[in-house]
Chain A
Amino acid sequence: MKPIAILLAVTMLFLFTVSVCASPTDPAAAGRCMTCHKEKTPGLYKQWYESQHASHKVTCMDCHGAEKGEADAFMHEGGLIATLVTPRDCGKCHTREAEEVGSSYHATAGHILESNDAYLAHVAAGEPVSILGCESCHGSKVIIDANSPNKLSRKSWPNSGIGRLNPDGSQGSCNTCHTRHTFSQAQARQPEACSKCHLGPDHPQKEVYEESKHGNAYYTNINKMNLDDDAWVVGIDYYEAPTCATCHMSATQNMKVTHDVGERISWTLRPPVSRNKDNWQTKRKSMKDVCSACHGATFAGGHFYQFDAVVKLYNEKFAKPAGQMMKIIKENKLLENPAAFSNKIEWIYWELWHHEGRRARHGAAMMGPDYTWWHGMYDVAQHFYFKMLPEARKFKNKELDNYIDNLLVNDPMHSWMLTETAKLKKDIRSGKMQEVYQKFFDQN
């Protein structure tokens, strides 16, 4: 194709995009909105005024304008609007981003009501906690209430969880990360954007990041991060440190920015037993591409070599045996109370994988030594040996006892418990102990 034809095509495409995105509604309507909201909600107005949206003439009705028939549409000061702005609305202009978000793991977070997490909050605490504790991160189904001023049920609004189930069928909420009404990319690129949810005893990504050299370098050089830059290519536009967004989403010299946060993640570290994700080799390659902006291939490769071994160690030494014990307990109907989480051993097992088990794995994934060991695998081991095993022994079940005895006697990873300290120390010094764990490196 000749350059002139390309130019023409690009111009046509641009004009088309502008005509689609430019406000389809009566400009007077937005003028009215602003007049009143500048007085009534001056903060909201000022955030918008400073935003990229304002400088690109994206005004109130472009996002909040609703069409007849939409479930959450209501009349407000003579205009049909909707409070809720969904990824579908944002996608009118940000098409690619909306698609990526829609197919990401983030977008599925609202299905939490089916998961154990939500069960536990509902039974052990109660609905108010489920709403503010679980759903404000995960998002929940937006319920329409005809009596509510904005048609949204107060139990499901506010609702800015990342996997919000919207009345228009879309999933997710862009302002989870791009906080309204500034929708700043700089803000979404900072670790704090993620750490509203990714923190705490069960998934301390924020704490691990802060412990790591990456976090250390970021907080030292926060002013050099060039966070407002449009392209924000790591190694080019900034180079002092990566943030969460850098590794999981942002552009490199070889990759475009993605709004599918799972695209560079090779393991799922969430479930009781970790497994590689589909196409994990491609995803691993993508992540290594990010590393390569600052690190040599051997250095980056070395990290994954060490990290993978920790995950496998956790899987094989603790997660699978603990899971097997729970299976035997359930098959033999040993639990006293009928409800899930109504028996002590269920809480022990839960914390073993959901809390410390994840801490160890996340610590290893993101170079947080203390989270890998003291907050991580140390706690896993203590839970396993001195909470889970004694609790399991209480059932006095033959099959279960046999399983535990076999583990402690015949599994070289666990037989240390019945061995003399002096011999163990000797084995460590001689390297014999390490040979037991060599398999976790060999498989890589």
Chain B
Amino acid sequence: MFERYKNFIHGVSGNAAGLWGVVLTTTSFVGFILFEVARLSGILTNTYVGLVTYMLFPALFIIGLLLILIGWRRLKKQSGRTTAELMKQRFGDNQTKAALFGSKVFTTIIILTLVNILFIVAAGSRMMAFMDEPVFCGTACHSVMNPEWVTYQASPHSRVKCVECHVGEGADALFDSKLNGLWQMVSVTFDLLERPIPTPVHQLRPARETCEKCHWPDKFYGSRLKRIERFKKDEASSVMFTTLNLKVNGGSLSQKGGIHWHVAGENEVRYASVDDKRNEMIWVDVRQDDGSFRRYTNKTISDAESNHEDSRILDCVDCHNRATHIYENPGYAVDERISRGILNRSLPYLKREGLKAVSADYPDKESAMRGIDNQLRGFYRNNYPDISRKQGDIIDSAVLVFQSIYSRNIHPEMNIEWGTYASLIGHIGDGGCFRCHNSNLVDDAGNTISDDCTLCHSILAYGSESSFKFIQPADSTDPNFEMHKYLRDEFIKSAGL
């Protein structure tokens, strides 16, 4: 059998193209088998190996087959012989002699073709499966997708595959995504993309269909206690607590709900925004019980500007726009690491100095790593020589943490800086909830959409020294007495205590 194969490949590699074709098909075939066996037996564990096994080898294999065909045709053309003559010459009489199931060459070709088809189907299905793996999405277009890959891995959805949200179900969605991927390959190859890449708000899958596979509105009931630790820029990086009792329930027909009222039951909110950033609303419609809509129009936008045809029904991503690819705010990022205990705030001015280090402007990642290192070590060396000498290991680990904060969020090669991709959840400045809940949007009767703080959350601590400050009775000598009392009463009332 092997003799027959040897004879065959000798026969087809009559010129350079044929030879290369044989080399490519054979090595990629053998390579694929070897790598796959190695992976299955646990010898190869590198996550990137799939790129070689399932993308490179099958591709090379097909290229090799094509080369063999090209080589054969060229050979035929150059020699000017008929196929029968050429075959006789390349494979010998013995191989081309007619037999019961055709000549030996013919049966070899049939067998090899069957093997090829089997291999291509197997490799192809492995390839498709591999393309559904996050590691493919994250690393195939490494330079461009790296920021999304990095932030995804650090996100609460890191165990959910990219394709589960980005590719819908069914052949249509698969076809769309492959077509889209093809275009992306072209735009990466010829550098046609914008940096930073604008959020592709129109290409996203319908959020409700996607998100509600796991998170459905009936699930949003009750309230959620959120305790946020923030740290001051003083020497001790003192802690301040803000504790919110978030009213996240969706409500029911009989009862007005909390934050998820927006997507609960028959409720519908739709809006038109000035641009795709969806930061400034032109109008917001709210469906009434009778099915009509009440419109709140932005009085700061003149009619000329508001000539905007597109409107959109509010769904999950209008607030949870960064549920996965989360880019942090530098101050909050530092606070979060201190809060989790991976930064040790026994180091004086840790918050202040760390924040300074991560939020400085650096031309590239390498100088950022160096700069962060210099900033922190320099500060402690100059101002706290004792600590610098004796607690070098704490400083070392702090430097690493600050560097990782930078690496996670800042991607100079894609022009991603602090704040490039803002989150719309909650509210920072006039963003988030305040895009609609503000005094500029008014209905015909002049009503606005409430922006009362306690509409969405009770406040149990607010930059306070203890995490449930306002649950305690208010102290009448405290300047915040009135606020304290108001918030305490509100919580008691809204929690039905």
Chain A residues within 8 Å of B, Cβ to Cβ = 27-28, 30-32, 34-36, 38-39, 48-49, 54-55, 57, 59, 77, 149
Contacts and interface: CB of A to CB of B under 8 A. Distances in A.
Given A34-B483, A39-B427, A77-B452, 14 more contacts: A27-B486, A28-B482, A31-B483, A32-B453, A34-B482, A34-B486, A35-B453, A35-B454, A35-B462, A35-B487, A48-B479, A54-B479, A77-B451, A149-B439
A28 B490 CA distance: 10
B478 to A, nearest CB: 9
B484 interface: yes
B481 interface: yes
30 contacts: A27-B481, A27-B482, A28-B482, A28-B486, A28-B489, A30-B482, A30-B486, A31-B482, A31-B484, A31-B485, A32-B452, A34-B480, A34-B482, A34-B486, A35-B453, A35-B462, A35-B487, A36-B451, A36-B453, A38-B462, A39-B453, A48-B479, A49-B479, A55-B479, A57-B479, A57-B481, A59-B482, A77-B451, A77-B452, A149-B439
Contacts of B487: 31, 35
Given A28-B489, A149-B439, A38 B483 contact: yes
A35 B452 CA distance: 9
Nearest to A31: B486
Contacts of B480: 34, 49
Interface residues of B, number: 19
B463 interface: yes
Interface of B: 427, 439, 451-454, 459, 462-463, 479-487, 489
Contact of B486 (A35, A57, A77): A35
Residue among B439, B463, B479, B481 having the largest count of chain A Cβ atoms under 10 Å: B479
A31 B459 CA distance: 12
A38 B463 contact: yes
Contacts of A39: 427, 453
A21 B483 CA distance: 19
Contacts of A55: 479
Contacts, number: 50
Nearest to A53: B479
List the 6 closest pairs (A to B, CB-CB), nearest first. Answer: A31-B486, A54-B479, A34-B483, A31-B482, A30-B482, A31-B483
Contacts of B462: 35, 38
Contacts of B453: 32, 35-36, 39
A10 B293 CA distance: 63
A34 B452 CA distance: 12
A77 to B, nearest CB: 7
Contacts of A38: 462-463, 483
Contacts of A35: 453-454, 459, 462, 483, 486-487
Residue among B439, B463, B480, B484 having the largest count of chain A Cβ atoms under 10 Å: B480
Residue among B452, B453, B463 having the largest count of chain A Cβ atoms under 10 Å: B453
Nearest to A147: B299
A59 B439 CA distance: 23
A149 B438 CA distance: 12
B452 A36 contact: yes
Contacts of B486: 27-28, 30-32, 34-35
B440 to A, nearest CB: 9
A39 B427 CA distance: 10
Contacts of A32: 452-453, 486
Contacts of A34: 480, 482-483, 486
A30 B452 contact: no
A30 B487 CA distance: 11
B449 to A, nearest CB: 12
A404 B355 CA distance: 73
A30 B482 CA distance: 6
Nearest to A30: B482
A324 B479 CA distance: 62
Contacts of A30: 482-483, 486
A109 B482 CA distance: 38
A303 B487 CA distance: 61
